[in-house]
Structure 1
């Protein structure tokens, strides 16, 4: 089994907490150090057994062999700067759902030949915080690595093996390709789910719509229960790709609205059948 001496996990929410729990359960490291800003989260992580030691970010990354940055996107640079001041042998990865800005920050702060390998585990849920973390979150789930051409080959290999040790199926692609794909596969679905829930909310002044809400609306708006601050940040970090995805979505909405307004049953059936067939393939 792959073993590191000490793995640090920055950010102890659903993803970071799950990384810490999985590392301990699978004996990937001898020690796990967690980083969280609030004393309550640090205490909870130790009490739950997710980490051996809990630090504030101000305590720094001294003594780590491997660092997983699972913070909000806006806090990633803080830990990259810590990494730049640390032992040059320190390996690092992240878990952010937007990769191009992080890759650019890593190159700027650490230089082109560095030991940071961007990653995005396609896992999680609309639930947030350490309480939502589970040791098996990454079992069978895809984790995308986004190494640069100059990435240290040994770091690339070690980071791949780390995510595989947590149960992930690892694939690699460029940061730009990742962000374009995720704009459609994750960011647009969240964007549209938030919009759907907000649209219904604005019309439901008396609660009558909510009274009649069945499983369909609950399914379609499940991910609208996600943390709004987190998702506003993701949309802004991947703004160009998300805007392109929204443009495509709006065009299809326009086509469906026109078909409905003109009683064009054929066009409606064609769009709906295409949607159904694709949804069925998602479960293959």
Structure 2
């Protein structure tokens, strides 16, 4: 009987040892699954405020153990293509409506919003008019020719009672959706990056903050029509869908939405760039 109990005890200890060994093996697998923070992640941005802010985020993230390498793109199309191809880990330059429009156009791009960053307003500028001046009848108004920012500009004009559109909340609005144009404005669709160079040929034009700052315009003082801080077009960080659960994203978000970075944005771009998250 004693011999039988001894066998039972030995077997139980063996099972316990195997169980503990199994737990230990799981921990090792979990450790192996942790991201390698010794190598930098590559984040795509546009030159100007996006790049300047990301340089600050890079410093904050490094204190948290995340290394960031910044790669600049001069247009709105390439950063998403590079992200879809795995050439970069994330990008920070676009608002969610633009990302959604890109996904419809490029269904093979499996990209997703990770978190909000900042609002870079699209304002209307002019070399012929001063802030406070009314846009005259028959004015030639330049707008971006990409669907989301073109629609965004038309909604801005509608919100200021300069035109009327079918649905003042429809971000897919196009020039075909203008229902009333009492001032007989001529809407000129141009590539967003080219609009600042075309201001001499236009009465006024809608220019993204990034391009406005690069052109020496002051988004806080120069616009004749301003987009407000409650705009729906808050910018985001985008990643591949498969990376949404990447633990490095949490560190990246904490760095971007930190008080240190919020204070930097407010100080560096007062009245030009708004926070896209609640402090």
TM-score, normalized by the shorter chain, greater than 0.5: no
TM-score, normalised by the number of residues in structure 2 = 0.32
**Greater helix fraction, Structure 1 or Structure 2:** 1
Structure number with greater CO (CA < 8 Å, separation at least 6) is 2
Q: TM-score, normalised by structure 1?
A: 0.32
Higher strand share: 2
